[in-house]
């Protein structure tokens, strides 16, 4: 991998940290407001209490996953591990693609996730020095 001035820039690091803040926000929302978090997948909350309890529990798992992803970005940024941050952001793009695939299989909402995948891949590639 190559290192470039762009891959080491403060501006790119700030953009990377913003990319880490987004899943943390989504994660907190999923834990505190599971019904609202379902709207990001264009899904309706279940009506039956047992189903609602299960979905709410799964949204906590989803929230923890998202918070973890964001914290890994912040950890890489804090240590100025630019290449590590690049790979993490590319992996986040893979998660966005996977979330979109779940929406696609459910019938709608995929582009709300798929739009992030290439953006994260490009930003991650900039950190790796591949595009700049």
pLDDT at 2 over 70: no
Q: Note the pLDDT of residue 9.
A: 85
* Residue 22 CB contacts under 8 Å (≥ 6 apart), including other chains: 70
Buried b (16+ CB within 10 A) or exposed e, 32-47: eebeebbebbebeeee
Compute CA distances 114 → 49, 81, 91, whole Å: 32, 26, 13
Chain-centre distance for alpha carbon 67: 9
Mean pLDDT for the stretch of residues 53-68 = 97
d(CA 93, CA 117): 4
Confidence of residue 3 (pLDDT cuts 50, 70, 90): low
- Domain residue spans of the chain: 6-128
Confidence of residue 68 (pLDDT cuts 50, 70, 90): very high
Whether the pTM exceeds 0.75: the reply is yes
């Amino acid at each position: 991998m190559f290192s470039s001035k762009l891959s080491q820039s403060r501006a790119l690091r700030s953009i990377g940290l913003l990319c880490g803040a987004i899943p943390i926000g989504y994660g907190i929302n999923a834990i505190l407001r599971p019904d609202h978090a379902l709207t990001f997948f264009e899904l309706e909350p279940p009506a039956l209490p047992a189903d609602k309890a299960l979905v709410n529990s799964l949204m906590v798992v989803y929230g923890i996953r998202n918070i973890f992803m964001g914290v890994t970005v912040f950890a890489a940024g804090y240590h100025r591990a630019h290449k590590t941050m690049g790979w993490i952001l590319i992996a986040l793009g893979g998660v966005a693609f996977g979330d979109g695939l779940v929406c696609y299989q459910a019938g709608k909402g995929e582009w709300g996730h798929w739009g992030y995948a290439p953006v994260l891949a490009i930003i991650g590639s900039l950190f790796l020095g591949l595009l700049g």
